[in-house]
Amino acid sequence: MAFRWKNTLKDRDVTDEALFLNRRQLMGAAAAGAGFAMTGQAVAAEEALEPTSWDDITQYNNFYEFGTGKDDPVRYAGALTTSPWTVKIDGMVDRPADYDFEDIMKAMTVEQRIYRFRCVEAWSMVIPWNGFELADLLEVAGVQEGAKYIRFETLYRPSEMRGQSSNFIDWPYVEGLRLDEAMHPLTMMATGIYGRDIPNQNGAPMRLVVPWKYGFKSIKSIVRITVTDEAPVNTWQQLQPSEYGFYANVNPEVDHPRWSQATERVIGGGLFSPRIPTLMFNGYEEEVASLYAGMDLSKFY
């Protein structure tokens, strides 16, 4: 496999939660003193988001492979074996192969990024991810001319993923992106949270993160990435096409058929915390709106 060797940084080598939060305070003060230079602007944007606690991020999530309850993933995901782990990259690529996860991590540059996370169920978090740009991984495989879409597939292992004993989903879980969405600099493969290796319940050892889309697009525990010229049908689109489309862009002006998307409940804010307005494209409108210029976003939901 023709990897571009960069470093051997692992998520467990990055700052832990307490030091991470202290680092943000120190860097924010330094940025203010520097007159908001280029790095200062980036830090200032980071400072505007207050990260959700580790406990809330890791104990309240959807991962139906382990059950449909919000606490099922943290209760049962410990059964999942994540090492060794390989990711098959195939389809319209120059270097199709089963890529070892450890080799991928040696080839990639791990970064810390704080992103808003908005679930289609109208709750939200702010998560400090560690990971790398998906575009860098696709570059390793070599995307061929004529490719238009990326199809992702979650691990299917019912012996360890107890929720897969249910047949309400046609396992394995599948998601997809347009190629330009996949190559966008904001789109990342997350391998950690708060500098720690990503927990099983959050999609270990590697998951997709697309911050301007509803959370179900950010497929977990990925074992296959297929580059194709045909639009894949994602799992929820297949199950309920009238409710879940291919794009799943966060849009407060387009309601889910059964609830409003205009506001959201912030996890960790307490039972009586007020709902907050949902931002177009989850607050990333300036960066990604051009991807959908001229499209009817209520039709292409």
Residue 109 marked as a ligand binder: no
Do 131 and 191 meet the contact criterion of CB atoms below 8 Å apart? yes
Residue 220 marked as a ligand binder: yes
Residue 284 marked as a ligand binder: no
CA quadruple 176, 182, 186, 191: dihedral sign:
positive
Sequence-separated (6 or more) residues with CB below 8 Å from residue 140: 1, 2, 3, 4, 89, 95, 99, 104, 107
Q: How far apart are CA 134 and CA 63, in angstroms?
A: 21
Give exposure, 153-192, as e/b (b: 16+ Cβ within 10 Å): bbbebeebbbbbeeeebebbbbbbbbbebbbbebbbbbbb
Residue 168 corresponds to which tokens in the numbers above?
């309400």
Residue 287 marked as a ligand binder: no
Residue 154 marked as a ligand binder: yes
Q: How far apart are CA 132 and CA 200, in angstroms?
A: 18
Residue 106 marked as a ligand binder: no
Residue 202 marked as a ligand binder: yes
Residue 7 marked as a ligand binder: no
Residue 214 marked as a ligand binder: no
- Output the known binding site: 61, 64-65, 119, 154, 202, 207, 218-220
- Output the known binding site for Mo-molybdopterin: 61, 64-65, 119, 154, 202, 207, 218-220
